[in-house]
Amino acid sequence: MRKKISSFNNPFIKNLLLLQKKSKLRKSQEEFVIEGLQEISYAQKAAYEFSQVLVCLDLFDSALDLEKFDCGITEISLDVFEKLAYRSSTGGLIAIAKPKDLRIENLRLSSKTPLIMIAEAPEKPGNIGALLRTADAAKLDAVIIANPKTDLYNPNIIRSSVGTVFTNSIGTGTTSEIIDFLKNNNIKIYAAALQDSSSYLAEGFKEATAIVVGTEHQGLSEEWRINADKIIKIPMEGQVDSLNVSVSAAILIFEAKRQRQLS
């Protein structure tokens, strides 16, 4: 028989609310919350392990067989679901999952000429989500976050990425660790920066390539510029000299994809 919860004061529900808000708690409990049928389906396909699935039968209208989840299923009332959920259009489903170890040493590349996007120290969940959506759209071989400032299992990242945090192959590490990883795998580094740079349109990205972007305000650290094979920029004709990081990454990534599709 399924467990049923209809009270906000249930200790399990109180813990879930804290789990959504506190990165330290997610790390200590080694659990995070996924909201939404699509996002949960992506995590399931990516072989994430679920510890609990919560369903609100008042909203759940899917052919998905809940019994296929190898974990406990708990029915929650509409009131409890609305307390937990950020959105109303998530199919009445919430899951608690176990995180994966995203350290760079665990990243495996299947292509001999991978195309990788690297973002140094992104902080805003919306930007990270947009970067992950771009990576998924381009079907990149990997996304690497250098010096991460934000927990990638933050509900805001899961939501803004529309679940592509689960569809991408992701690695994290320090800038030094990632540069070593790229050099050990003979991957060329194209660092996006304004100083001493050439137009990205003058470069070729058909070999093993890592395109590295920094934040709008800080840009890339000197370590990336020193170790880059090429420093590239997007020529701009207006008053501003920078674009949103996710926009810049998309322009560079899809030029690399265009070149590769021509070969």
pLDDT of residue 263: 54
41: CB partners within 8 A, 6+ apart: 64, 163
118-177 confidence digits (pLDDT tens): 999 999 999 999 999 999 999 999 999 999 999 999 999 999 999 999 999 999 999 999
Sign of CA dihedral 107, 18, 2, 162: negative
User: Would you say residue 241 has pLDDT above 80?
Assistant: no
Whole-number pLDDT of residue 65: 80
Task: Please tell me the pTM assigned to this model.
Answer: 0.94
Render pLDDT for 18-70 as a digit per residue (tens, 0 to 9): 999 999 999 999 999 999 999 999 999 999 999 999 999 999 988 788 888 88
User: At 226, is the pLDDT very low, low, confident or very high (cuts 50, 70, 90)?
Assistant: very high
pLDDT digits (tens, 9 = 90+) for 80-93: 999 999 987 789 99
The total number of residues written for the chain in this structure: 263
Instruction: Give the integer Cα–Cα distance in Å for 12 and 126.
Output: 28
The closest alpha carbon to 175, from 143, 150, 146, 215, belongs to 146
Residue with tokens 């759209």: 137
Residues 180-218 pLDDT 10s:
999 999 999 999 998 889 999 999 999 999 999 998 778
